[in-house]
Amino acid sequence: MRVGWIGLGDMGYPMAGHVAREWETVVWNRTTTVAERHASEYGSRAVGLREVCNVDVVVTCLPSSSEVEELAGRIEVDLPAGVTWVDCTSGDPAATQRLAARFGARVGLVDAPVSGMVDGAQAGTLTVMAGGPEEMFERVRPVLDTFATTVIHVGPTGTGHLVKALNNAAFAAHLWVAREIVGALERAGADVDSALAAINASSGRSLVTERFLRTSVYTDAPVPGFRVGMLTKDVRIGAATAGSRLLRETADLFGAVVEAVDWDADARETWAVLGEMTGGGDAS
């Protein structure tokens, strides 16, 4: 199988590295030097946009569906009939369905966003939630298996992006809840570590209380990957698609966090601002 990879950011770079170890891989990145570095590190080949389409499977890993749609417009005419486009971007289900309709029967489309953060991408232990026709999914699965240990087909076109958006929306809601719980514990003078240990042995636990606070908030080590703007993009998609009041309020809160800090704010900055906005107290 020949693979053409588009988008070598924090996630795409290591993911395409795993693919290149198994399959003949050509790569394209907006900043060309990154593609050249990838070629020398993983044995992929840096090519132009037209050549990256001349493969069996094209993969995109871009910030959002806007960039995917924009890029599709630029390269659509170069895509050979029978190619399958796999979109690993955390995208918007409606945009994905629009793209599939535009491609028609000539080009296949599988939405295959991932979870597991940058360290999961580097280790090749991501989770993929894929949407699209079953036989198309099975055809591209060997590519997904190179960077993921859990690969799940969740339904028709767009449902992969929906599951990813809802997952991130749920994560953001858990973060909000955890911030308010920790604030209440601090104000009551409880030992926060001990209190969280009790919650983590009980039914109120979440990934945030069990792991995220320790690995990404209450740590001095650099934590790559978390950007509140990227998370908020997915929370908004999840809230709008699900029509959920709770998720809409979560999207509004995280939108306010992005305004107050910065799109690139990390987990520690986000936690601190959430504290100020929700009366959750001081993170330090």
Binding site for ligand NDP (CB under 6 A): 7-12, 29-31, 34, 61-64, 67, 71, 89-90, 114-115, 117-118, 225, 230
Query: Least Å distance between CB 182 and ligand NDP?
Result: 23
Give the residue with the Cβ less far from ligand NDP, 97 or 216. 216
Q: How far is the CB of 46 from ligand NDP (least distance, A)?
A: 12
- Quick check: 37 and 12 in contact, CB under 8 A? no
Question: Is there a contact between 238 and 158 (Cβ–Cβ < 8 Å)?
Answer: no
Least Å distance, CB 241 to ligand NDP, is 16
Residues 69, 110, 53, 114, Cα dihedral to 10°: 80
Nearer to ligand NDP, 40 or 203 (CB): 40
Both tokens of residue 29?
A: 């990145």
CB of 74 to ligand NDP, least distance (A): 9
Q: Which residue's Cβ has the minimum distance to ligand NDP?
A: 9
Pick the closer one to ligand NDP by CB: 30 or 102. Answer: 30
Task: Closer to ligand NDP by CB, 88 or 181: give it.
Answer: 88
Choose among 265, 252, 272, 166: nearest CA to 225.
265
- Shortest distance, CB of residue 143 to ligand NDP, whole angstroms? 16
The answer to whether 235 and 169 are in contact (CB under 8 A) is yes
Q: Which C-beta is closer to ligand NDP: that of 33 or that of 284? A: 33
Q: How far is the CB of 275 from ligand NDP (least distance, A)?
A: 22
Cβ proximity to ligand NDP, 8 vs 83, nearer residue: 8
Choice between 116 and 132, CB closer to ligand NDP? 116
Q: Cβ of residue 114: shortest distance to ligand NDP, in angstroms? A: 5
Backbone angles phi, psi at 68, to 5 degrees: -65, -45
